[in-house]
Amino acid sequence: MRNSIITILKKELKRVFLDRKLAFAVFIMPGLTIAIIYSLMGGMIEKLDDDAHEHITVVQTINMPHDFRLAAEALYGTGMIIEENEPTEKDKAVQKVISGDSDVLLVFDENFIGDNREGLPGVTRYANSIKDFSIRGGYMADSVLESMRKNILSERLGGVDEATVFTINREDVAKTEEKAGKAISMLLPMLLTVFLFAGAMQVGMDTIAGEKERGTIATMLLTPVKRSHIAIGKMLSLAIVSLASCLSSLAGVLISLPFSNTMFGGGFNFSDLAYGVSDFLLLIVQMVAMALSFVSIICLISALAKNIKEAGGYIAPAYMVILVMSMSTMFMQPEGVWSYMLPIYGNILSIKNILMFKYTHTSGLISLASTILFASVLAWLMVRAFYSERIMKSS
């Protein structure tokens, strides 16, 4: 009677496809949401970038030495406008920085480069740390001052090399593909986890707790089909639904790539993400394991609950725990094998590793084993629940 598992599986899947709202929520929404989130965020960051390039920094000065203007023109050309003010106008100038009419104010000591003065000359920089353009203007002003200092030094010491002393060369050893991998692995494991769970949750509560609540499960229990087969058929259908919503999320990521690459800081192309077939296979294996454990959690709770409402009440805390787990991997990258032994958490870490080209088979297999063990125990409990008179008495 293995056929009966397939009969039940087919019915459950048909149910999801027949219900347009449910089908949309499970198959289309995850991908759509991800595509929209990624595209919007990418678009926003791109716009910020453009704005920054278009913006012309306005620097007000008091007692400005001519060398400053020369250094500024050499560094930023027309990208920086310099306004000169009388010392009496200082308060008004500060006000302008506060209001954002100008970005920076530089107040030089009187007789800044003169010969006959006591002590070192100084310059005070006024910037507004809550305005992005002012922060940026401040750094630009610093660069100009630095370059001006170098000019003065080389004049005094008799050459540019003498003033420079040494040069610094900065190299990034990260491979471009790794940079891209790091960027994509920030958010994606969490989103995959969420959609994997959410897809199974909606359908699972309805297909098990819902059937108990509506009393339709009684007719099924009266057929010669083994109760374990009913339970397994329902679980398998859920796993398929959950995976489908996950694949939909992956599709969403792919769709949004053209719009979203600047969101990850730019500087690389997503064509740098040279994931091979084996990476995708590993990803799918981890996702299947995770889907099975989610499904077993949802099925067990739904089987124990009397109705959909009660099931929802018990599933919510489980969902929260999993959410927190997946969010924590955004910020932490724990070392050591222990973390991979934690079911589900280990899967999320493994998925992250695959995306970052850091996957190792040891940790991957540990996470698979622990999750599958976990899912099997819950699935076994769920099947037991289907045999319990008390739990299944809803007829």
Partner 1 sequence: MIEVKNISKTFKLSKKQRTLDGTKNKFKIAVENITFKAKPGEIYGLLGPNGAGKTTVLRCIATLIKPDKGSIIVDGSSVLEDSREVRSKLCLLTNELKVDPNFTAEYLFGFFGRLYGMNDSEILKRKKILFEEFGIDEFADVKTSDMSSGMKQKLSIAISLVHDPKVIIFDEPTNGLDVITARAVTDYLKKLRGEGKTVIISTHIMTVAEKLCDRIGLIIEGGIAAEGTLNELLEKTGAADLDDAFFSIYKKTRENVS
Q: Please choose, out of 9-17, 150-158, 191-199, 297-305, the segment that lies near partner 1 by the rule CB under 8 A.
A: 9-17
Cα 49 to its chain centre, rounded Å, is 20
Q: Please choose, out of 12-20, 59-67, 197-205, 331-339, the segment that lies near partner 1 by the rule CB under 8 A.
A: 12-20
Smallest gap from Cβ 223 to partner 1, in A, equals: 4
Burial class of residue 148 in the structure, from the number of CB atoms within 10 Å of its CB (0-12 exposed, 13-18 middle, 19+ buried)? buried
Residue with Cβ nearer partner 1 (217 or 355): 217
Residues 6+ apart with CB under 8 A from 260: 38, 39, 41, 42
Residue with Cβ nearer partner 1 (282 or 311): 311
Q: How many CA atoms lie within 13 A of 176 on its CB side?
A: 9
Could you tell me which of 293, 302, 281 has the C-alpha nearest to residue 342?
A: 293
Smallest gap from Cβ 30 to partner 1, in A, equals: 22
Could you tell me which of 334, 343, 340, 333 has the C-alpha nearest to residue 362?
A: 340
Residues 6+ apart with CB under 8 A from 168: none
Residue with Cβ nearer partner 1 (157 or 221): 221
Residues 91, 96, 97: CA angle, nearest 5 degrees: 100
Residue with Cβ nearer partner 1 (215 or 258): 215
Smallest gap from Cβ 13 to partner 1, in A, equals: 12
d(CA 60, CA 123): 13
Decide if residue 132 touches partner 1 (CB under 8 A): no
DSSP 210: I
Decide if residue 19 touches partner 1 (CB under 8 A): yes
Q: Which amino acid is at 383?
A: V
Residue with Cβ nearer partner 1 (4 or 154): 4
Q: Give the three-class secondary structure for 180.
A: helix
Residue with Cβ nearer partner 1 (188 or 230): 230
DSSP 61: E
The residues in 197-236 that bind partner 1, with binding defined as CB under 8 A, are 211, 214-216, 218-226
Give the residue ranges of DSSP H helices in 165-260: 176-204, 211-214, 217-221, 227-260
Smallest gap from Cβ 8 to partner 1, in A, equals: 8
Of 2, 3, 20, 78, the one binding partner 1 (CB under 8 A) is: 3
Decide if residue 307 touches partner 1 (CB under 8 A): no
Residues 307/209, Cβ–Cβ less than 8 Å: yes
Q: Please choose, out of 10-18, 240-248, 271-279, 331-339, the segment that lies near partner 1 by the rule CB under 8 A.
A: 10-18
Decide if residue 18 touches partner 1 (CB under 8 A): yes
Mark residues 329-348: x for contact with partner 1 by CB under 8 A, - for none. Answer: --------------------
Map tokens 């008390």 to a residue. 390
Residues 179, 291, 305: CA angle, nearest 5 degrees: 140
DSSP 24: I
Decide if residue 21 touches partner 1 (CB under 8 A): no
Smallest gap from Cβ 288 to partner 1, in A, equals: 27
Q: Please choose, out of 2-10, 25-33, 65-73, 292-300, the segment that lies near partner 1 by the rule CB under 8 A.
A: 2-10
Residue with Cβ nearer partner 1 (216 or 271): 216
Decide if residue 384 touches partner 1 (CB under 8 A): no
Could you tell me which of 64, 152, 56 has the C-alpha nearest to residue 102?
A: 56
Residues near partner 1, by CB under 8 A: 1, 3-4, 7-8, 11, 14-15, 18-19, 211, 214-216, 218-226, 389-390, 393, 395
